[in-house]
Structure 1
Amino acid sequence: MRSSKPKCLFSLFLFFLCFHLLLHLSQAQEPSTEGYTCSINETTTNPCQAYAYYRASAPNFLDLASIADLFSVSRLMISKPSNISSPTSPLNPDQPLFVPLSCSCNSVNASMTISYANLSYTINEGDTFYLVSTNSFQNLTTYQSVELVNPTLVATDLAIGVTAYFPIFCKCPTKTQTQNNVSYLVSYVFQPSDNLSTVASRFGVQTNSIVEVNGNNTQPFDTIFIPVTQLPELSQPTVVPSPPSNKTERKGVITGLAVGLGITGFLLILAVGVLIFGGGLVKKRRGTRGDEEKNQNLYKNEKGDKRAKEMEVSLMADVSDCLDKYRVFGIEELREATNGFGENCLIEGSVYKGNINGEVYAIKKMKWNACEELKILQKVNHGNLVKLEGFCIDPEDANCYLVYEYVENGSLYSWLHENSNEKLGWKTRLHIAADVANGLQYIHEHTRPRVVHKDIKSSNILLDSNMRAKIANFGLAKSGCNAITMHIVGTQGYIAPEYLTDGVVSTKMDVFSFGVVLLELLSGKEAIDEAGNVLWASAGRILEGSEEQKAEKVKQWVDKELFLESCSMESIVNVATVAIACLHKDPSKRPSMVDIVYALCKSDELFFDISDDGSSAPPVRAR
């Protein structure tokens, strides 16, 4: 009996050890049809960068453009991590891709918090939550989870055109995982033909690392999370040029024209070469070295023409969806309109003023990177956004030109900080603030996916003949929000703190920049002074204290030009309050543009000064 007691104790110890191990594995992940529970305190960052493993599929998702639209990202954001050299090339069925996600821990009700990337989706004919989840998003979410995050939508009665939000399952690394050099958790849908060892081999990780995160009860079509230090390099098929597309008659004509021009150019070069060669025979050895140099230059030109035509056809393919909506200008037409892009026609930067058949345009000269801007501009149409009239492609100097409506009175920046002869009155400034707010409300709330401008500043706000404001320059704009980027762009003094530190792209970064513009309108000061001090850093203190103290501080802080006319201190304080709210360091506590438009329109000066046709022209005061 004595000898059996230690054995019993040892057996009992082994039993409890196995029990706790199984319990740990079962708790590694709580699979649920509604999502994966999370706690913000468990992760090092929230939101975080994550990726989804996605397979190209027929008929709708065999190109990066359609997949990028589905996930509200750009093609380059997929092509780079997916080891695809040409973002415009067609994809093969089942071709693997890494799609970036902005993953965060979200409260869906009082008792449940789940981890997902929130993607907006416009309902089309025949769509159901189940079909979109399983087909378009390939089981990276479930219809039960979609119902959970869309409590106001009836799954059996979805209206075409309504926006639904699809929670794509993802996870952020825990603090322990980060310490173990885990950079990302990749969302992967477990296939019927998979086993954990083959999945681990595909991602270059150990099987037990997958089990530690997901448990060992993975079923087909479950979303599992693969912990990786870096993304593995995907093996992609060799790109085979596709036959000419018959998508539109016009695109075929343009492609045919490009090929025809290439052949004509080649024959012309050949003819010139023959003439030079013939001249060389007459001259015999005289000038032989000069003839060689000419032939070398001709060879270089021939290579350049070929490369230019390839670039033209490629860009035309990228912007083919825009051809029917916008006018395609000729490069000679633009050169004539701008005196050969002379300095006398230069407005600012690379924007020129041009006259074409009596119409004045603003012509923006760009390198071959206009595709994303065109893609966004074709979605928007609002009176407070500068209108795109057309574009031009010049393959010879590898430039693209965007042709905009000409806005007569220049930028808000020049009126506030450079114009010493005339100053903007308070009513004019209030109208400008309301116009910009309306334009931002439109791109934030009425485009799908939402557009984030990313570069709201006084120099990108233009004033027309009635001194009404229009938002310009969508060169940095992004379609889709709540993403993470490592490439920080923008103008110092206007950049939101969360974008600067963490690369978080959201509509709230535009709200922050708009708050800085409001401060410029109020104070007449620049967003950043010569010493490098940002205007918004000291603005918060002006609303501290009693109502009387606030009024006095505001009076000392705002532009003295405003008090040369009769204006309501209450109205100025109201706008200052809106500006301070826009500048909150926590993006979630900033107001939406809907709230801002409402707050600005409460001003008596603005409400009673709007004419019947909504196009009042507030006065400008001469000094």
Structure 2
Amino acid sequence: MKMKPHQLVSFSWFLLFFLFHGSRAQPRTTGYTCRANQTTYPCQTYIFYQATSPNFLDLASIGDLFHVSRLMISQPSNISSPSSPLIPHQSLFIPITCSCNSINATFGSLSAATITYPIKEGDTFYLVSTGDFQNLTTYESVEVFNPSSVPTRLRVGDEIVFPVFCKCPNETQAQTGVNYLVSYVFQPYDNLSSVASRFGVQTQDLNNINGNEIRPFDTIFIPVNQLPILSQPEPPPEASLGKTERKGTIVGLATGLGICGVLLIVLLGVLLHRDVFPSKRDIGRVEDNDKLLSNRTVMEMKGIEVNLMADVSDCLDKYKVFNIEELREATDCFDESCLIQGSVYKGSFNGGIYAIKKMKWNACEELKILQKVNHGNLVKLEGFCIDPEDANCYLVYEFIENGCLYSWLHQNNTGKLSWKTRLRIAMDVANGLQYIHEHTSPKVVHKDIKSSNILLDNNLRAKIANFGLAKSGCNAITVHIVGTQGYIAPEYVSDGLVSTKMDVFSFGVVLLELVSGREAIDEEGKLLWASINGFLDGNETEKVEIVKGLMDRRLVEESCSMESVMNVLVVATACLNKDPARRPRMGDVVYALSKNYDLCFDVLEDGLSAPPLLAR
């Protein structure tokens, strides 16, 4: 049965329980204006900055970037020891001098702290603005402040001015006790109330200064009388040794050196005796030692194998344990011609074709998770192999013929996916996620849902692959953030919160890929999921225009159902809600996508009348 107009309208309203509201816009590009005669300029103010790996995990490197001393950062940032190492995402207040800079007739005067930066190999205005300066400026504003520099002809050592956005309090603000307007980059997961709470100010004060149309990655200004006290992590033990501990360390070191000296003298005496009085007995002893060393190496290798096998003892009765020689023969000794992607090889043995994933020994958790899941939309693990010589582990999976969804959507060497096929792929992935979220105990969080981890079989049906980052159990906190940029949920980046809702967010990004044919993050670093902000705020005509602008041109040429695409975008928008508690469960997503498919296509022609869950 085909979808009728009144059914489409009803179904769109039916999906309203998914809705959330946001605003779609790009961050301010050229800066913030000021009056050249404003008496409050220049002023001393601060920016909110976060330590990042690998280049900015100490105050010295951050101080060099902003041309301030370590002490100038440590004092306002509540750091007791300026020489202490920082941890990723540690919060800092960095002092800057904000000036009103006269540019030209087009731009007038712009408020900024002018930071000189020497260009390094591989730098661009965009990369330095978004990376080193964390969106506190933009590449467009850098071009404005450096009119004589050609962005495509930068040379190593060029001195470029990067204008860090800032503002000085006006006279009225100063009279009400505002001493600083702290520069803060508004993140996609932020809202005004959370930012206000973080800095101890009123939401209305932020509205008064920054207006109501604040967009992701805009620099906003926080009015404060004094800087809030930042909560900082405990320093590493080696950074907090007391005088007594240092004294004990020195005494221990001196004692150790003394003992080493005595042993060195004894060793020299033994070597001298051996060299002066060689004997057959000594030669025989050397041969015996070589044999002992060889035997010990074999025993250690056996021990490694025993330990590794013990780790996966629960899996031995379920999966085949392959011999390393079998895998080498199947892959021509892991020749590059057999390489599929990354460290995954195509191998043929026993009349079958398999995907062989080579990895250092960190597969124990992945094996434990895979042994308790069994579903038609998850790639099946056939067996594994442990090589004690180099402590590598090899996971042997079923081979999926048509590769990954990423190559079908974003590369030119693959075929065309119709809207019906894309919707079916979305349903397959949703079914797989529903299974691991709601039908395993404890729940499994995949943590790396993306189009390159979705494989398509001969019938273009989807299977979820790569459980290397998966975690059994949820609602945990981690400080080790892993995943793929463009798919990572905001709460995971900011708070390290691991839950099934982070998979729901990543699935929302995949839905946008299926609709748009665009990558999750483009060459300029723009996030695909940010493009959907505000989709639900417009009227029907505006929504249609947004859908047309977002749709893959191949779908436009196909003349697929605009209403069906719009319904999928409603689901995607719900999955991408910045509040994880307001994102739908995957069971709800499966139902909504299946209902949309039923209303648009004849269910029987594709054999999709089976229940959504396809556990085998």
1:608 match? 602
Unaligned runs of 5+ in 2: 1-198, 200-227, 235-277, 611-616
User: Residue 302 and residue 511 in structure 1: after superposition, are their counterparts in 2 closer, same or farther (change >3 A)?
Assistant: same
Query: Following the alignment from structure 1 to structure 2, what is the Cα–Cα distance between the partners of residues 615 and 417?
Result: 31
State the superposition RMSD in angstroms. 3.2
Aligned residue in 1 for 2:450: 457
Mapping 1:377-392, distance limit 5 Å: 377-392=370-385
In 2, are the aligned partners of 1:543 and 1:553 still within 8 Å (CA)? no
Q: Which of 423, 436, 454 matches 2:429?
A: 436
Structure 1 Cα separation of the partners of residues 349 and 544 of structure 2: 51
Distance 1:390 1:578, change over 3 A: same
Structure 1 position 483, deviation (Å) = 0.2
Query: Which of 350, 366, 374 is the equivalent residue of 1:373?
Result: 366
Q: Write out per-residue CA displacement over residues 260-298 of structure 1, whole angstroms, 9 at most, x where no aligned residue.
A: xxxxxxxxxxxxxxxxxxxxxxxx99xx99x99999987
CA distance, structure 1, for counterparts of residue 230 and residue 503 of structure 2: 36
Q: How does 1:440-519 map to 2 (within 5 A)?
A: 440-519=433-512
1:550 aligns with 2:538: no
Taking structure 1 as the reference length, the TM-score comes to 0.51
CA distance in 2, matches of 1:459, 1:602: 27
Partner of 1:559: 552
Counterpart of 2:468 in 1: which secondary structure? Answer: coil
Q: Is structure 2 residue 345 aligned with structure 1 residue 338?
A: no
Rounded Cα–Cα distance in structure 1 between residues aligned with 2:458 and 2:377: 13
One-letter identity of the residue aligned with 1:512: F
Does structure 1 retain, via aligned residues, the 8 Å contact 2:603–2:609?
no
Per-residue deviation at 1:547? Answer: 0.9
1:584 is aligned to 2:577: yes
Provide the rounded CA distance (Å) in 1 between the counterparts of 2:230 and 2:573.
Answer: 41
List per-residue Cα deviations over 1:285-339 (Å, max 9, x = no partner): 9xx99x9999998766544433221111111111111111111111111111111
Determine if contact 1:305/1:396 at 8 Å carries over to the other structure: no
Residue 542 of structure 1 and its aligned partner are, at CA, apart by 3.5
Partners of 2:505 and 2:517 lie apart in 1 by 18
Query: CA separation in 2, counterparts of 1:424 and 1:181?
Result: 50
Q: What secondary structure is seen at the aligned counterpart in 1 of 2:298?
A: helix
Indicate the residue corresponding to 1:533 in structure 2: 526
CA distance in 1, matches of 2:426, 2:571: 11
Q: Distance in 2 between matches of 1:333 and 1:294?
A: 35
- The secondary structure found in structure 2 opposite 1:444 is helix
**1:181-230 deviations in Å (ceiling 9; x for gaps):** 8989xxxxxxxxxxxxxxxxxxxxxxxxxxxxxxxxxxxxxxxxxxxxxx
SS at 2:567's partner residue? helix
Paired AA for residue 450 in structure 2: K
What are the within-5 Å matches in structure 2 for residues 143-542 of structure 1? 301-420=294-413, 422-542=415-535
| Contact 1:388 1:403 survives alignment (8 Å) | yes
Of 428-437 and 598-607, the range deviating more from structure 2? 598-607
Partner deviation per Cα, 1:515-541 (whole Å, 9 max, x = no partner): 011111111011111111111112223
Alignment of 1:562-577 (within 5 A): 562-577=555-570
- What is the match of residue 207 of structure 1? none
AA at the equivalent of 1:467: L
| Secondary structure class of the residue paired with 2:317 | coil
Quote the residue 1:20 is aligned against: none
Q: What secondary structure sits across from 2:348 in the alignment?
A: strand
Q: In the alignment, which residue of structure 1 is the partner of 2:104?
A: none
Q: In structure 1, how many angstroms separate the alpha carbons of the residues matched to 2:410 and 2:230? A: 52
| Structure 1 residues 503 and 181, CA gap change in structure 2 (3 angstroms) | closer
After TM superposition, give the deviation of residue 612 of structure 1 in Å: 6.7
Amino acid paired to 2:602: F
User: Does the residue aligned with 1:449 lie in a helix, a strand or coil?
Assistant: coil
Letter in 2 for 1:497: P
- CA shift, 1:418, in A, is 1.0
CA contact (8 A) 1:601 1:607 kept: no
Q: Which moved more, 1:411-420 or 1:300-309?
A: 300-309
Q: For the residues of structure 1 that align with 2:469 and 2:584, how far apart are their CA atoms?
A: 23
Which letter maps to 1:414? S
Task: After superposition, give the CA deviation of every residue in 1:70-99 in whole Å (9 maximum; x if it has no partner).
Answer: xxxxxxxxxxxxxxxxxxxxxxxxxxxxxx
Structure-2 change in CA distance of 1:604 and 1:395 (3 Å)? closer
Q: Answer whether contact 2:568 2:593 (CA < 8 A) is retained.
A: yes
Cα displacement string for residues 337-361 of structure 1 (whole angstroms, at most 9, x for unaligned residues): 1111111111001111111111111
Say whether the 8 Å CA contact 1:449–1:480 is kept in structure 2: yes
Give CA deviations for 1:426-484 in whole Å, capped at 9, x if unaligned.
Answer: 11110100000000000000000000000000000000000000000000000000000
- The 8 Å contact of residues 423 and 597 in structure 2, kept in 1 or not, is answered as no
Q: How many residues align?
A: 340
**For residues 150-172 of structure 1, what are the alpha-carbon distances to aligned partners after superposition, in whole Å with 9 as ceiling and x for unaligned?**
xxxxxxxxxxxxxxxxxxxxxxx
Give the secondary-structure state (helix, strand or coil) at the position aligned to 1:429. helix
The secondary structure found in structure 1 opposite 2:534 is helix
CA 181–510 in structure 1, closer or farther in 2 if over 3 Å, else same: closer
Q: Which has the higher contact order (CA 8 A, sep 6+)?
A: 2
Kept in 2: contact 1:582–1:590 (CA 8 A): yes
CA distance in 1, matches of 2:597, 2:355: 35
Tell me the distance in 2 between the aligned counterparts of 1:497 and 1:443. 22
Rounded to whole Å, the distance in 2 between the matches of 1:559 and 1:586 is 28
**Residue of structure 2 in register with 1:254 after alignment:** none
Secondary structure, aligned partner of 2:412: coil
> 1:425 and 1:180 mapped to 2: Cα distance?
52
Q: Could you report, residue by residue, the CA deviation over 1:565-612 in whole angstroms, capped at 9, with x for unpaired residues?
A: 231111000001111111111000111101111111112466524547
For the residues of structure 1 that align with 2:562 and 2:526, how far apart are their CA atoms? 27
**d(CA) in 2 for partners of 1:367 and 1:459?**
21
User: Partners in 2 of 1:179 and 1:342 — Cα distance?
Assistant: 57
CA contact (8 A) 1:393 1:400 kept: yes
Could you tell me how far 1:543 is from its partner in structure 2? 3.6
Aligned-partner Cα distance in 2 for 1:436–1:421 = 20
The 1:382–1:607 alpha-carbon spacing in structure 2 relative to 1, beyond 3 Å, is farther
Distance 1:519 1:181, change over 3 A: closer
SS at match of 2:555: helix
Q: Counterparts of 1:310 and 1:329 in 2: how far apart (Å)?
A: 19
In 1: Cα distance, 2:576 partner to 2:444 partner = 20
Question: Are residues 604 and 385 of structure 1, via their aligned partners in 2, closer, same or farther at CA, if it must alter by over 3 Å?
Answer: closer
Q: Say which is worse superposed, 309-318 or 420-429, in terms of deviation.
A: 420-429
Contact 1:542 1:557 survives alignment (8 Å): no
Paired with 2:515 and 2:287, the residues of 1 have a C-alpha distance of 64
- Aligned pair in 2 of structure 1 residues 510, 296: CA closer, same or farther (>3 Å)? farther
